[in-house]
Amino acid sequence: KAGVTQTPRYLIKTRGQQVTLSCSPISGHRSVSWYQQTPGQGLQFLFEYFSETQRNKGNFPGRFSGRQFSNSRSEMNVSTLELGDSALYLCASSLRTGEGNTIYFGEGSWLTVV
């Protein structure tokens, strides 16, 4: 069974540009969540989608957005990039069926903003 797949793995963008990151969850998983990891702030929750609906949102500005498609694949978008957006962006998926909700992560997308 394939794991959580994220693309691209590495990318470099210029300040002011926008970026779209993609995530394919484990087959059968309907919950997809996104996290940002930086040396200063650690791992922080961005948002979670379940059945194409955003269920939870972290404390990030509106420049960060996401969506989920009917096949559970998800994308996140960051507009008007800032230097501080440089980070490892991690996608995770789960069945979201109740107790013991194991959450699996992908390898991440490394974003560098110059």
Partner 1 sequence: SQQGEEDPQALSIQEGENATMNCSYKTSINNLQWYRQNSGRGLVHLILIRSNEREKHSGRLRVTLDTSKKSSSLLITASRAADTASYFCATDGTTDSWGKLQFGAGTQVVVTP
Nearer to partner 1, 39 or 62 (CB): 39
102 binds partner 1 (CB under 8 A): yes
84 binds partner 1 (CB under 8 A): no
Binds partner 1 (CB under 8 A): choice among 15, 16, 17, 43: 43
Radius of gyration of the chain (CA): 13
Residue 2 CB, shortest distance to partner 1, in Å, is 14
Within 8 A by CB and 6+ apart from 109, the residues are 6, 7, 8, 9, 10, 11, 21, 88, 89, 91
Asked if residues 68 and 74 have their Cβ atoms less than 8 Å apart, the reply is: yes
100 binds partner 1 (CB under 8 A): yes
What residues between 58 and 77 interact with partner 1 by CB under 8 A? 58-59
Nearest-angstrom CA–CA distance, 31 and 22? 14
Looking at residue 83, the DSSP 8-state letter turns out to be G
Which helix (H) or strand (E) segment holds residue 109: the answer is: strand 109-113
Nearer to partner 1, 57 or 63 (CB): 57
Binding site for partner 1 (CB under 8 A): 4, 6, 31-33, 35, 42-45, 48, 50, 55-56, 58-59, 88, 90, 92, 94, 96, 98-108, 110
